[in-house]
Amino acid sequence: MTIQVWDYTDEYAAEREEILAAVDRVFTSGRLVLGASVQRFEEEFARYVGVAHGVGVDNGTNAVVLGLQALGVGPGDEVITVSNTAAPTVLAIDAVGATPVFVDIDPDTYLMDVTRVEAAITPRTRALLPVHLYGQCVPMGTVMELAAAHGLAVLEDCAQAHGARQNGRMAGSWGGASAFSFYPTKVLGAYGDGGAVLTDDDDVEQALRRLRYYGMEKTYYVVRTPGHNSRLDEVQAEILRGKLTRLDDYVAARRAVARRYADALGDTDLVLPAPAPGNDHVHYVHVVRHPRRDAILAALRERDIALNISYPWPVHTMTGFAHLGYGRGSLPVTERLANEIFSLPMYPSLTAGVQDKVIDALRDALRTV
């Protein structure tokens, strides 16, 4: 059997009875859309992160779209972010009619290089969109200082950072709003799509609730700006409620996997993840780096180990974003690292035996390719 970077089947076997009971509670409740399960999950997840409001939506991409719109970002505006991210981050900026502006990344953490942000601010800049990538936070103290100095909104992309902390403060509790994905692979993953936007701002919360429900406050009546059909599903919300109670356990298991990698590979020339000072890393994906990446991946495929690259194509190099005008070489750190990074298997139920097979194969490849 091929070893993959992610697998949920053992976790499902352990939690199957609870998950099926959650589904049954929804199906017998008499309310299948925007009922008690969504409301309770919104409250519980917001409380976990330490913010006032949570608004469940249908997926992480629309969490970014609605978050930007609720913060007042629209056509003609610029949003500063990074190119080393999943394309949906940038697609969401485009979807609200704004223009993404990219800054390069830190070569050690692969996160937004906050020292480059101020130079990218123009009179059209409306928001900063830091991406808490791979399981740890962008330096948010600096981001918030820049935002305050220039009068900018901040939307945190927390799709890969459930439970991550910086100096004791949760990812998602810093900006004017924060966007989360509950795609199945995430640290807190559903059994299908799902997302949420969190905020401390009452006006932003009300805007989000309108926007996810066509722009309506009352049934069939669009009040202000037309919105979307972007509601979190009741079944997914009820499953997530149960999984939320185990989120800290999932994070602890991921950290144990990361420590085993560090202990077994620390003496090689593989560059291992580097948590930034003050960050509590949740290891959503375990991204490593090597200049002979492609040869290493080929050697592991021969041993039925299929690893992943997050992400092989920086967004600014994709033909779909050629209109932004970023040529090759415009973000040199991002482009160089895209040729070297790859991800090792990382999920809470990864057994030591399977991990040892990956480690042994990787050490062999490092010696021979």
Taking each helix axis from N to C end, the angle separating 352-368 and 293-301, rounded to the nearest 10 degrees, works out to 130
Q: Which among 212, 244, 276 is the end of a domain?
A: 244
| pLDDT the model gives residue 136 | 98
What band does 148 get if pLDDT is binned at 50, 70 and 90?
A: very high
Is 3 domain-assigned? no
Do 145 and 29 reside in the same domain of the chain?
yes
* 4 in a structural domain: no
pLDDT at 296: 98
Residue 52 sits in a domain of what CATH number?
A: 3.40.640.10
Whether 64 is in a domain gets the answer yes
Last-in-domain residue among 244, 271, 297: 244
**Are both 232 and 258 inside the same structural domain?**
no
Domain count of the chain?
2
Can you give the pLDDT at residue 219?
80
**88 in the same domain as 155:** yes
Q: Answer yes or no: do 228 and 116 share one domain.
A: yes
Contacts of 230 (CB under 8 A, 6+ apart): 57, 58, 59, 62, 65, 66, 211, 212, 213
> In this structure, is residue 131 part of a structural domain?
yes
CA atoms of 331 and 303, how far apart (whole Å):
35
Give 97-135 pLDDT, tens digit per residue: 999 999 999 999 999 999 999 999 999 999 999 999 999
Same domain as 203, residue 171: yes
Are residues 189 and 98 both part of a single domain?
A: yes
Supply the CATH number for residue 254's domain: 3.90.1150.10
b/e per residue 309-327 (b: at least 16 CB within 10 A): bbbeebbbbeeebeebebe
Mapped onto helix, strand or coil, the DSSP state of residue 103 is strand
Could you tell me the sign of the dihedral formed by the alpha carbons of 243, 246, 252, 257, in that order? negative
Let me know whether 355 and 222 are in one domain. no
Can you give the pLDDT at residue 96? 98
Examine the domain organization and report whether 57 and 172 are in the same domain.
Answer: yes
Task: Specify whether 83 is located in the same domain as 152.
Answer: yes
Q: Which pLDDT tens digit goes with each residue over 337-350?
A: 999 999 999 999 99
In a domain, residue 117? The reply is yes
In a domain, 33, yes or no: yes
Does some domain include residue 77?
yes
Do 295 and 159 fall into the same domain?
no
Answer with the one of 193, 222, 244 that is the final residue of a domain.
244
pTM to 2 decimals? 0.96
Regarding whether 135 and 40 lie in a shared domain, the answer is: yes
Q: Tell whether omega for the bond before 311 is within 30 degrees of 0, i.e. cis.
A: yes
Identify whether residues 197 and 329 lie together within a single domain. no
Asked, for residue 221, whether it belongs to a domain, the answer is: yes
| 294 sits in which H/E element | helix 293-301
Residue 286 near residue 308, CB atoms below 8 Å: no
Kindly report the average pLDDT of the chain as a whole number: 97
Range of the domain at 78: 9-103+111-244
B/e letters for 93-122, b = 16+ CB within 10 Å, e = fewer, are bbbbebbbbbbbbbeebbbbbbebbeeebe
pLDDT in tens, 182-236: 999 999 999 999 999 999 999 999 999 999 999 998 788 898 889 999 999 999 9
Q: Is the pLDDT of residue 1 over 90?
A: no
pLDDT digits (tens, 9 = 90+) for 50-105: 999 999 999 999 999 999 999 999 999 999 999 999 999 999 999 999 999 999 99
Q: Report phi then psi at 208, rounded to 5.
A: -65, -40
